[in-house]
Structure 1
Amino acid sequence: MRHRNERGSTIPLLVGLAAVLLMGIALVINASSAYLQRQGLDTLADGAALRGADLGAAGVYGEGGLTQTRLLQEQGAVEKVVAAYLQSIGADQTYPGLEVSARVNVADRSVTVLLEAPVELPLHIPGSPMRPVVGASSTAAVTIQTD
């Protein structure tokens, strides 16, 4: 019966496992960073949509008073109000490269704000994009209550 030499090095195995572990840690850190930025954009989109729906309303008080249950917004007015709101809170400095899109849906008298911004990831994983983009959207409408 022959005895085989079972000696070997575990170093390549340990290096491989360490690399996989480090990649997993980097993935979790980057995902957390992107999630937090998206949450911040959600908050901005909510505020911008509410401001646009409220201050972008047109013809609120006509001769017959308020005849609709929701206010009608004008596209141009909403865009100006949303841009002014985001500028007043310094959104472009907090999120460099911020892109804004505001739309008025005439059918349901609502305002939708879409925000997109590139993410500054703390760690780079080989094969992943250098500056991925996250986005958020929010829709708001002003409802009139007559009591």
Structure 2
Amino acid sequence: MNDAAPTAEPQVTRVGDIRFDDALALLATHDLHLHRVADGAPIPGSYWGEPEAGIIGSEVYVRDDTPVHSMLHEACHLIVLPPERRALVHTDATDSVPEEDATCYLQIVLAGRLPGVGSDRLMLDMDAWGYTYRLGSTRAWFEQDAEDAKAWLVERGLLAA
């Protein structure tokens, strides 16, 4: 008999907590299309499974219970890819450490442009969800250990110097 209580999902900002049109507009500035999936329906292209965001080509799929950090993370996977690679994406965007780091950095930057979220909140949500960094927190990584990720984005014109 298992007496362990089920583990509750961490309290993080969800897509249903923000204005969908704000997220739609933010992603559109990067030539991405955001789709809202009905509650309880499978999320197309979700690597981790529901409620995590899914990606196929330039399409990002979310439900209201999808964490905002997941939506931004998957969208940023597409943003960091050149168009010819983006078009081929279905579910899994990369196996490159530099691209993964750039994705994490960019999702924090973009959260600062998303009303109702902000970079500070997103970093707390990332920690609560289980992102791990050698300095112990997302903020410490972002502020003290992510120079290579920032340089990668700047080099490709995805972030101002």
**Is TM-score (shorter-chain normalized) higher than 0.5?**
no
Larger Rg: 1
Higher relative contact order (CA closer than 8 Å, sequence separation 6+): 1
TM-score relative to the length of structure 2: 0.27
Larger strand fraction of residues: 1
